[in-house]
Amino acid sequence: MSDPVPLLNVQIDGIWHQFPKGTRVIEACAQAGKFVPRYCYHPKLSSPGNCRMCLIEMGMPKMGPDKKPELGADGKPVISWIPRPQISCAQDIAEGMGIRTDSPLTRECRHGVMEFLLINHPLDCPICDQAGECRLQEFSVQYGTAGSRFLEEKVKKPKRIALGPRVTLDDERCILCSRCIRFMKEVAKDDVLGFVSRGGHTYLTAYPGRPLDSNYSLNTVDICPVGALTSTDFRFKMRVWFLKETKSICTSCATGCNTVIGARERVIYRQTPRENDDVNSCWMCDYGRLNFHYVNSEDRLTAPQIRLNGTLETSDWGPAIVRTAEELGRFRPDEVAVIASGRMTNEELWLARRLIETLGTPHHDVVPRWGEGDDLLLNADRNPNTLGAQLLGVANERPGENLARIVARVRAGEIKAVLALQEDLLEAGFTAGDLNRLTFLLALNILPNPTVEAATVVLPGAAFAEKRGSMINAKGRLQRLNRAIAAPGNAQNDWEVLRELLQQLSGTAGPYVIEDVFKQIAGTIPEMRGLSLSKIGDRGYQLEDVEDVPAAPAPEPAHL
């Protein structure tokens, strides 16, 4: 067992505090409730001390003739103040240190720093994408002066430069904080950015012949304190103060990065990372960040459809559910297969498991989805909830293992009905000819695809940003999805669709709120016992012993 970290006594604005040894001065001030403005400092990066915005007054204990600190009337060390300001981001606290964060000297220093930063900065806040979340705007009001003494012409720098396929640079706005340079070097391990020229003409650029094309390039936009680095995808699309922000998770791979979805009027405009040191720190890959545009597609399925005389016709939910139940009632259990998805929530997978048991079919699986991973965040498993599918018994320890057998039975005419839940069967090894062999095909999905086009009944579901629920990431962390926008048209949440189908097949009432679905899961799956959707919280809950997932026990019939 390691020794405890010693606590050091530090005076901040006249009040003594204790902090662990190794705490940076700027962090100690924040913990004491004294905010120190900063530009170049970022808690996940090194501290170069570039911007000088975090200047404070600092002192150390005055030493007496006996080489011991002199004590004042209160029994505390007398502070001998250093006559010049010090940066607070690049040094650690020391025993007996004194700090002043709001003295006349620090206020004068901040005014001076802000004046220098604004000398060449363009006055284009009305058209800048960073407006509304710009530190330069905020600090110019809090720590700047009302006027400017600068009369000369501003230095012109490169503008609208495509640093890479996803990042656009307006160099004239850059304040040379070097956050982006340090992120690409220290976190992304792609040392592609740097400063060139000198003095007031210094500007940011990529190395010759090296575009900023890393899969983590958009994190530089997140950490840029001004509007220099902008997302090409989001640029000039929407003012940030109009966006409704919803805490959620990324569903593009099994990492499950914590996110904030920015949406307005049923349209998603951006996804940005949300800090969670147990999952993604405060970063996110570009692939997952931009993988939301299909939710805004004009081709979304918005109403149920039933095949009549060889043509899919728009229908209401009632007839579509009844038709599905009637069709399924014509087949023996071994003539039906259920193909679920590792992109479904735990609640949806639970009801899919109930549907499998109600039909009595032994043929079920999820479609595995693999890609190239990396050593940072992107997982090779592109399904966000593979562990959930295993834990709830929809897939075994090798997802996709049963698919080949299901396809072979379809081709042999042994399986005549297939329920495709949020999957295109052509990605599961089926061919168009296989789909035509089926007597009945149900497609629950959000967008048209070959499976939808061949289906007997089409049921429109909800995308990840349109529903609530939970998922389990690759490390066994249970996390929550939250609804940012409503599903289009007459589409419904997938768990509600599955509940209606179960009710029609069994004649028994089901849960009417998603919390009750999760309650059923928690009452049956030992790893989730005692949990609820609210207890998961915004940062998730780490499940124990989920690497080797056992088959989920059969639920009690009374739970339906």
Collapsing DSSP states into helix, strand and coil, what is residue 267? strand
Evaluate whether 249 touches 481 at the Cβ level (below 8 Å).
yes
Strand partners, 460: 445
Angle, CA 32 vertex, CA 84 and CA 2 arms, to 5°: 100
Label residue 50 left, alpha or beta by phi (over 0 means left) and psi (-120 to 50 means alpha). alpha
Which H helix or E strand runs over 419?
strand 417-421
pTM comes to: 0.91
Residue type, 414: E
Q: Tell me the HSE value of 464 on the side-chain side, using a 13 A CA sphere.
A: 31
Domains of the chain: 7-111 (3.10.20.740), 125-296 (3.30.70.20), 305-551 (3.40.50.740)
Q: Whole-angstrom Cα distance, residue 454 to residue 307?
A: 9
pLDDT tens series, the chain, 560 aa: 567 888 999 999 999 999 999 999 999 999 999 999 999 999 999 999 989 999 999 999 888 787 787 887 777 888 899 999 999 999 999 999 999 999 999 999 999 999 999 888 888 889 999 999 999 999 999 888 877 787 788 888 999 999 999 999 999 999 999 999 999 999 999 999 999 998 888 999 999 999 999 999 999 999 999 999 999 999 999 999 999 999 999 999 999 999 999 999 999 999 999 999 999 999 999 999 999 999 999 999 999 999 998 899 999 999 999 999 999 999 999 999 999 999 999 999 999 999 999 999 999 999 999 999 999 999 999 999 999 999 999 998 889 999 999 999 999 999 999 999 999 999 999 999 999 999 999 999 999 999 999 999 999 999 999 999 999 999 999 999 999 999 999 999 999 999 999 999 988 888 989 999 999 999 999 999 999 999 999 999 999 877 544 444 444 433 33
HEC string of 326-356 equals HHHCCCCHHHEEEEECCCCCHHHHHHHHHHH
The residue count for the chain: 560
2 CB neighbour count, 10 Å cutoff = 4
